[in-house]
Each structure stands twice: as C-alpha cells, then as structure tokens.
A and B are shown apart, each in its own frame.
Chain A
Amino acid sequence: MDTVHACFEEKIGEVLLPGDVFSFRLPESGDGSIKTGPGLRRNGEEVQVYKSGILRHKQPNMYWIDSQQRRVRVLDSHHVIGIVTAKSGDIFKVDVGGSEQASLSYLAFEGATKRNRPNVQVGDLVYGQFTIANKDMEPKLVCIDSCGRANGMGVFGADGLLFKLSLGLMRRLLAPQSEIAKDLEKIFPFELVVGMNGRVWSCENMTSQQRQTLFKRVAEGSL
C-alpha cells in the first residue's frame, strides 16, 4: 500500500503529460483503495495520465490532475446555470453550454404538481443539477434534490448579469477558502451564483455614484 502511494508521491506538484504512466503492483489484500480524479485513468494494472497538468493530492487517497479548460464537461450531479430556450409540452429545453440542450421536466421543481405548474418562461435562468449526464444520452436537469427539496435550485435572477468564465476560474471561486470571494466580499454586498458550466450570475444594488468610484479604482489599479 505504501509503495503504491510512494510512486505517486514523488510526482506530486510536478507537471505531467498525457501518456505518463504510474505502474505498480497492486497489493493482494483488499484493504485501502486509490481514488483517481479527472486527468487520471485506470488502464489495466496501471494508472495513466490523459490530461496535461499538475498532479495534486488530497488525504487520504485522492489523486488528480489540475488542468485548465474552457469546454464544458457535462457530469452527473453538477450544479449548472441554464437558460430556458424552449417549452415543449411537459418539458423545458435548457441550454447549459454543452453540445446538446438539456431537458428539464416541469415536475422537477419544489412543490410542482400537474395542476400547480412552475412559473418558468423562455429566457429564464435556472440553477439545477444533472441526473443524467453522459455522452450517450440527452442530459437531464432537475431543480430538486432526491428528498424533494429545492436547496437553492430553481428559477432565479430577474436582475443581474450573466457571463461566461473559464472552468479553472470557476473552481477557484468555489474553492473552500477562496481568496477571490473574500476580496469581493469586502467591496460591496452582492449575490453570486456560480454554475459548473462556466457561467456566473451576479447581482448587486449600487447607486451609479458608487459604481463610478469603483470603476475609477479599478482603472487606477488600486483594487
């Protein structure tokens, strides 16, 4: 078990390229396991790198490759911001930035029944999570968790601005001790919704004077 970790440990923090292999003999006893995150893939007895980036480690046994990309990865149970593009019968078509539009059923909202339909119009922003998300099927969004509660998902944002960022910045914003979030917090009160598909929505109430002073500060570079 230690030999397995040792062969990973010597590369932690180093840049790895696709095709690099970690080969080790798996211990016969079935205790312990290794979790590989994005960027690492199992290939028979070896673990192969398929993305270029830096190897990271989290206790006790999680290894992954930290890399940057802009293309949206549609993955299970990711929370994303979607834009409703069409309403066809009982489902809404939602654009999440992937190659296909996701479908969102009108019953997948908290407190929605056949008689009590949710108030969702074309062009609304929804924050939801994927239940089906793989490359073979049409992605499916829901705005409700497995217990039936909304937990912050659903339609949001009548005012505010939506913009696109790279996925790496997304992850930095959502990191547990995010410095960006702390810095932004000091400036003014605002609300932020971050989707794992690279979309960020923010809303704030500033008077135009406050905005002007803020822009001046940014222009001077004093922020």
Chain B
Amino acid sequence: MQRGLDAELKKQLDEEEKRIISDEHWFLDLPELKAKENYIIEERSYAPCEDLVFGRMSFRGFNPEVEKLMLLMNTHKEEEDDEEEDNVSRMETDITDEEMARRYESLVESMRKKFAKKRDRSAITKNKEDVNCNAVDNRPKKAFLKPQY
C-alpha cells in the first residue's frame, strides 16, 4: 500500500517545479552585455578609493585600547595591500623560537609518558638520553604466562 509518494516521483515533481520557477525568471538575453559587465567594476563607496583608515582614533595615549585597535585595523588593511608582494614578515613573538622548541620537546615527552603503559614508563626514562630513538628496545614483550599446575 502506498502511503506517500515514491522517492523517484518526488524527485520528478521537484524537478518540474524548479523548471517552472526558473522559466518564470526574467533575465537579459544579451551575452555581450554580460561580458562587458565583468570588465568595468563599480564601487559605490569612497573608502577603497582613498584608502580611508579606521574611524576610531586616539592620540597621545588618551585611550590605550583604541590605540591598540588602530594598529590592528590599519596593519590589517596594509596586509591586504601587500598580498601581492612576497615578503613574509615575521610576526612579533613573545617567546623565541628556541624556547618554543624546548617547550615542545618536553611537552611531547610528558604526553608520551602519560599514555604509556606502566611498564614502558621506566623504559622511557632510561632512554631519555637517546634523543633520536636510535637504540631500539629488543627485549621480548612481557606477556601473560598462564600458571602451570
């Protein structure tokens, strides 16, 4: 017994509906005009023409938050202009690269220890000096030994 429409029937009906709706849409059948549309782009505002800066300004430290904002918004605008240049400027960092590498190393170590099984944890501390993991642990893994009566 059919309770509702079939999936196929539904699809067909949907497609027909869409066709009817798009037929009712009016459009200009002028391909030349369309090609020219892409050539001349209209901007309605002065802001991109004259490179206007952000509207909130603070001078001589009157409002330090606004001064921070000014730097942020205006360098953001400059970055957009510099997209074409291939200068990769270094961002100002709070910590140096070496310190970051050291921190990361110790982080990896501690994470590995956390998820290692109890038996492997001691192995890790023994092998700490071997940074490049050259020494492979060749001992057979301790498995469960069934008691023999």
Contacts and interface: CB of A to CB of B under 8 A. Distances in A.
Interface of A: 26, 30, 32-38, 40-42, 44-45, 47, 56, 58, 62, 64, 75-79, 127, 151-152, 156, 171, 174-176, 178, 181, 184-185, 188-196, 203-205
B118 to A, nearest CB: 45
B57 A193 contact: yes
A37 B39 CA distance: 14
Contacts of B115: none
B66 A33 contact: no
Interface of B: 33, 35-63, 66, 69, 73
A58 B49 CA distance: 7
Nearest to A172: B50
B54 A171 contact: no
B62 A190 contact: yes
A181 B54 contact: no
B43 A36 contact: yes
Nearest to B78: A176
Contact of A175 (B42, B50, B66, B73): B50
A33 B40 CA distance: 6
B42 A45 contact: no
A76 B69 CA distance: 22
A135 B56 CA distance: 27
Nearest to B70: A152
Given A56-B49, A62-B48, A36 B42 contact: yes
Contact of B69 (A35, A64, A152, A189): A152
A171 B47 CA distance: 8
Contacts of B42: 35-36, 40-42
Contacts of A151: 69, 73
Nearest to A189: B60
A176 B43 CA distance: 19
10 contacts: A30-B35, A37-B46, A42-B37, A58-B50, A64-B43, A127-B55, A175-B51, A176-B50, A191-B56, A204-B62
Contacts of B46: 37-38, 64, 171
Contacts of A32: 39
